Amino acid sequence: MTEGSEFVVEEAVIRNAEGGVSLVGSRCQCCGTKTIPRSDVCHVCMSETMVRFVLEGEGRLYSYTVLHVGRPGWRRPLALGYVDFDDNVRVFGPLTGDLQALCPDIAVRLTEIEIGTDEDGQVLRNFAFAAPETS
């Protein structure tokens, strides 16, 4: 996507008009089910009439953890969580911002982070959800 670094889930992240990131998923034209990540078939009605939908903005943190183990080259500790959006969309991903402010049910917004490096030392980016700043 952007030069000099790659997104971990390249196919699912786009740059929006404001320069931020949005996530790309699928919406079923038959039953309206939305999914992240994208899919060619609807798991609810099995229709193959999936079209692209773009997820952006704010969601609600369902739950989270701060992980102290995990992938070599990735941030440690790394906060991870599930975030709920409208229309029954739930997305798992990394969290950023003030980790002390994390709590289930707070609002978080879609953003991006450097999540670590790959085996070749290349910087890896990923979408992330930002906890609100505390001041």
Residues 6+ away with beta carbon under 8 Å from 27:
33, 34, 35, 50, 51, 52, 53
Out of 49, 62, 107, 109, which residue is the one contacting other proteins (CB under 8 A)?
A: 62
Which residue number, 17 or 120, has a Cβ lying nearer to other proteins?
A: 120
Token representation of residue 25 = 């998923």
Count of alpha carbons within 13 angstroms of residue 56, beta-carbon side? 12
Of positions 14, 24, 67, 101, contacts other proteins by CB under 8 A: 67
Of 17 and 43, nearer to other proteins (C-beta) is: 43
Which range of residues in 14-22, 49-57, 79-87 is near other proteins by CB under 8 A? 79-87
Q: Please, which residue, 93 or 97, has the CB nearer to other proteins?
A: 93
Residue 22: beta bridge partners? 14
The single residue among 2, 29, 88, 122 that binds other proteins, judged by CB under 8 A, is 88
C-beta separation of 35 from 26 below 8 A: yes
Instruction: Please list, in sequence order, all residues whose beta carbon lies within 8 angstroms of the beta carbon of residue 95, skipping any fewer than 6 positions away.
Output: 61, 64, 79, 80, 81, 102, 108, 128, 129, 130, 131
Examine residue 66 and tell whether it contacts other proteins (CB under 8 A): yes
Task: Tell me the window of 14-22, 51-59, 69-77 that interacts with other proteins (CB under 8 A).
Answer: 69-77
| Interface with other proteins (CB under 8 A), residue from 4, 40, 69, 135 | 69
**C-beta closer to other proteins: residue 17 or 66:** 66
